[in-house]
Structures are given as C-alpha cells and as structure tokens.
Amino acid sequence: MAPTSTPQTPFGRVLTAMVTPFTPDGALDLDGAQRLAAHLVDAGNDGLVVNGTTGESPTTSDAEKAQLVRAVVDAVGDRAFVVAGAGTNDTRHSLELARAAQDAGAHGLLAVTPYYSKPPQEGLLRHFTAIADATDLPVMLYDIPGRSGVPINTETIVRLAEHPRIVANKDAKGDLGRASWAIARCGLAWYSGDDMLNLPLLSVGAIGFVSVVGHVVTPELRALLDAHLNGDVTKATEIHQKLLPVFTGMFRTQGVITTKAALGLQGLPAGPLRLPLVDLSPEETEQLTRDLAAGGVQL
C-alpha cells in the first residue's frame, strides 16, 4: 500500500532521484537498489524517483526498468512513494513504459519533456496527455529545457493541469519568474528539480524537492523545508548557505557521475556507470571530497 498523499503533496515533499546501482560487471544490482532505497527513506525521503536521468534511464533496458521499479516498491513502497520515470522522446514507447511501471507497482509517473526532436507546444500537450491517459497513475511533468531543448510553456502547463491525473511538475527550468506565473495559474504541486534553487522555489510556491543531492544530505533538505514551512526564514537561509558547497560540488560535472562517486565514498551501493558516462578522475574525486566536507557531509 502506498503512503497517504494529498492534492497539495501528491508524492510527499522530499524525494530523491535515485541512481541505479550496478554490479562491478555492469549488470543491474537489485539488492543494492533495495538497500540504497531503504537507506534514503530511512534518511527522511518521502519518495524516490527511479528510472529518471539520475537513474541512467537512457542506458537501461525496458526490462531492467520494470525490474527496478518492482524491487524498490518491494523494499520501501509501504512507506515511501515510488515514482517511475516513463518519459522518452517517443510517445508510443513512453506509453509502454508507463503501463509497465504501473504493472510493476509504481505509485506515480515522471514524464520528461521529449528530448532531441524539439516538438512544438501542441506536440507536448498531446504527448503528456497520452501518458496521463495510459494508466491510472498520477503524473509529474518534468520541465528541463537544458536537456530536452524545449520548455513547457506556461500556457501549456495550465492546459495540462486540467487533466485529472497530471498533478505535479518537477521544475528544472531555472526561471523563477516563469515558475511564479505557472504556480499562480495552474494549481499543480510544484517540486524543485534544481537543488541550487530549492529555497528560492519554495519562496514562490513550490511544495518540495525532487533532489539529486538528497543522496547525501536528505536530513538537511528536510530541515530546510521544515524551517521554511515554519516561517523561520533565517534558519532556512542558513541551511541553504551551508549546503552551497554540496550543491556546487555535486554538479561540477554530470550529476550521476558525482552522485555515484559520493555514494562510493560513503560505502553505499552505486557501482559503475554505463557509457557514455565515465568515472570521476582522481583529481575530480579529491575536489568532490573537499566540496562535500565543506558542506558538512560525513565521509
């Protein structure tokens, strides 16, 4: 049974976009995934996003994606939301992934803007609507033009919000003005998808985070959120500033690379990366270690 959701917080407030652990030979590590999921929920996450970009979804097979959802749901699905990435740049393929995620027990879907093909807004509208129509699961849009090449315009977000199963948006657009207008008009639960902007997005109406740095600082993210909700702006700002080295260090290069390195430094399941991603160099690992230590992360 999934945790209890509300319209205001359909997937909770603090979620981590989880890496996909692999064995040393590059195979899917389901035992490691279950142990990592349990660790992240124990640390304070309300939910986990699997098979997203941070989960190396471009290089995992459809069968692996379904296996991962099933394993994580078995491990933590009774106490945390498990949201499965189902978005691709092919609508038909996305519908197949959405249905497979539902069959595997996912509590919700994450649907990223179709990448590379740069569809017009009408194409985005039809794509996301088709995904939302494909299952009974609630859907979180994922707006990340830096990766997809195309933003979801505010008018499109407002129209998509009319769909009863499109309930949330993960905002990695990096535009507080556009976020402000969209939040004011659409009524979707708004999640920060850019860790450096977690606090600023809360200030304009976001309700929580889908975080990468949550792999290493979930308690601090929870404390920042609680301080904001309690009206303690000074404390929230202090926590934000304390975490600046972590926000910076975890994105000096591609986030999956640094996250798996950070988990390895902590002795947690992660494993190797699949090409075209590659491990940090020794010098980059030393820099990451300094960044994490500067942000108070225990290694």
| CA-to-CA separations, 33 to 64, 240, 241, 268, in angstroms, rounded | 12, 29, 31, 10
User: Using CA atoms, how far apart are residues 25 and 10, in angstroms rounded to an integer?
Assistant: 37
User: Using CA atoms, how far apart are residues 8 and 234, in angstroms rounded to an integer?
Assistant: 25
Predicted confidence at residue 1, as pLDDT, reads 67
pLDDT less than 50: residues of the chain:
none
**Where exactly are the structural domains of the chain?**
14-232
Predicted confidence at residue 5, as pLDDT, reads 80
Q: Is 293 exposed, middle or buried (0-12, 13-18, 19+ CB in 10 A)?
A: middle
Element (H, E) at 206: none
54 annotated to bind ligand: yes
54-59 contact pairs (CB < 8 A, 24+): 54/17, 54/18, 54/19, 54/212, 54/255, 54/256, 54/259, 55/17, 55/18, 55/19, 55/20, 55/85, 56/19, 56/20, 56/256, 56/273, 56/274, 56/277, 57/85, 59/274, 59/275, 59/277
From 115, 142, 191, 260, the catalytic residue = 142
From 170, 173, 191, 260, the catalytic residue = 170
Q: In DSSP terms, which residues pair with 114 in a beta bridge?
A: none
Predicted confidence at residue 160, as pLDDT, reads 98
Q: Look at residues 93, 112, 1, 99 and name the one whose alpha carbon lies nearest to residue 49.
A: 112
Q: For 95, what's the count of Cα atoms within 13 Å in the CB-facing half-sphere?
A: 10
Q: Is 259 exposed, middle or buried (0-12, 13-18, 19+ CB in 10 A)?
A: buried
| CA-to-CA separations, 55 to 16, 100, 254, in angstroms, rounded | 11, 17, 12
The neighbour count for residue 73, using CB atoms within 10 Å, is 24
Q: Look at residues 223, 216, 217 and name the one whose alpha carbon lies nearest to residue 263.
A: 216
Q: In DSSP terms, which residues pair with 109 in a beta bridge?
A: 84, 139
Predicted confidence at residue 298, as pLDDT, reads 87
Give, to the nearest 10 degrees, the angle between helix 255-265 and helix 214-229: 100
Predicted confidence at residue 204, as pLDDT, reads 97
Q: Look at residues 259, 281, 282 and name the one whose alpha carbon lies nearest to residue 271.
A: 259
pLDDT digits (tens, 9 = 90+) for 278-299: 999 999 999 999 999 999 998 8
Q: Is 224 exposed, middle or buried (0-12, 13-18, 19+ CB in 10 A)?
A: buried
Amino acid at 268: L
Q: Is 170 a catalytic site residue? A: yes
CATH superfamily, with its number, for domain 14-232: Aldolase class I (3.20.20.70)
User: Using CA atoms, how far apart are residues 109 and 102, in angstroms rounded to an integer?
Assistant: 8
3-state secondary structure of 50: strand
Decide the pairing of beta strands 108-112 and 81-85.
parallel
Query: 57 and 87 in contact (C-beta within 8 Å)?
Result: no
Predicted confidence at residue 299, as pLDDT, reads 85
